[in-house]
Amino acid sequence: MIDTERWPLIVHRDREANFFYAVVSTGVYCRPSCPSRRPNPRNVRFFDSSVEAEAAGFRACKRCQPADRLEPRTSLVRDICRFLEANADRRISLAELSEFASLSPFHLQRQFRAELGVTPREYQAALRSRQEPEPNEVITWGFFESPPGAGLVATSTRGVCAVSFGRDQHALVTWLKNEFPYAQLQPGVVTEAAAEVLHTIDTGHSTVPLDIRGTAFQHKVWNALRAIPPGETRSYEQLAAAAGNSSAVRAAGTACGANRIAVLIPCHRALRRDGGLGGYRWGLEIKRHLLRQERE
């Protein structure tokens, strides 16, 4: 039976639809807004969460990345960011961006700033400055094993630039390529960096140099996270205030989600105001493990 309520949302690639669908013939699950080829509706199965889809044996789509567990509004802003990143060699007008997002310039500007704490123009400026050192730079990466799970760590000449967790090594490398599209990536020896990640998981403290890249607001949030003592947490409201804009609560949460350097920038210490875990880029089980480790 075809779901007459949810199938049309897939046909129209609805960005606001709050469910996931899987395709039996491919074994992949997606968001309704996924740009991939439309499946045969008879091969589609629906799920209320990405966790349910994975529990049923489906793997996350590499195009729409549904495992990120972002809310629809955040997902739209992420799509806008990727459009800007793909066209970083030219200036994108607000009118062109509005047409891409199917939003009025006013609403796009307001929504983008609410999520990221900066305007689209400021985001483009950050992209251009990021491109300058990256075309010829080399980033060395390698895998490591830790109590929370397997992961990847990457270093540049300036320090650790990425730490990520995941069972699928190919997916981890693909993630790294997407995060540093202008750099030359090479596998190599990352023993010291991996040891620092393990030491930080064990003690909650880190002194290793970091290569942190992001917008000015993101840097403020990440610095606020690094200032939290091990064993303590902060709400997204407190992080926004520490970053100098108490009304930018949603942007503070998005900054946590955009963090590339797990553990060393401890975004796992950010919680909802009611004490709930909120989200975590690398999965709530790893977040629980890190918090439990620091409290023991």
Percentage of the chain surpassing pLDDT 70?
94
Higher pLDDT, 182 or 161: 161
Span 109-133, average pLDDT: 80
pTM of the model as a whole: 0.66
User: What pLDDT does residue 276 have?
Assistant: 85
The string of pLDDT tens digits covering residues 244-256 is 888 888 889 888 9
Q: Which of 30, 61, 64, 161 is catalytic?
A: 30
User: What pLDDT does residue 70 have?
Assistant: 54
Whether 223 shows a pLDDT value over 60: the answer reads yes
**DSSP string of 166-218, one letter each residue:** -S-HHHHHHHHHHH-TTSEEEE---HHHHHHHHHHHHHS-----B---S-HHH
Q: Please report which confidence band the pLDDT of residue 1 belongs to, taking 50, 70 and 90 as the band edges.
A: low
The string of pLDDT tens digits covering residues 56-80 is 888 888 877 787 655 556 677 878 8
User: What pLDDT does residue 69 have?
Assistant: 53
Cα–Cα distance for residue pair 106/234, rounded to 1 Å: 32
Q: Which of 64, 161, 256, 267 is catalytic?
A: 267
Lowest mean pLDDT among 91-100, 106-115, 122-131, 155-164: 122-131
User: What pLDDT does residue 142 have?
Assistant: 97
Judge contact between 195 and 235, C-beta under 8 A: no
What domains appear along the chain, each with residue ranges and CATH number? 7-67 (3.40.10.10), 72-131 (1.10.10.60), 138-203 (3.30.160.70), 216-295 (1.10.10.10)
Judge contact between 10 and 44, C-beta under 8 A: yes
- Determine whether 267 is an active site residue: yes
Span 157-164, average pLDDT: 94
- Determine whether 30 is an active site residue: yes
Mean pLDDT score of the chain, rounded to an integer?
Answer: 87
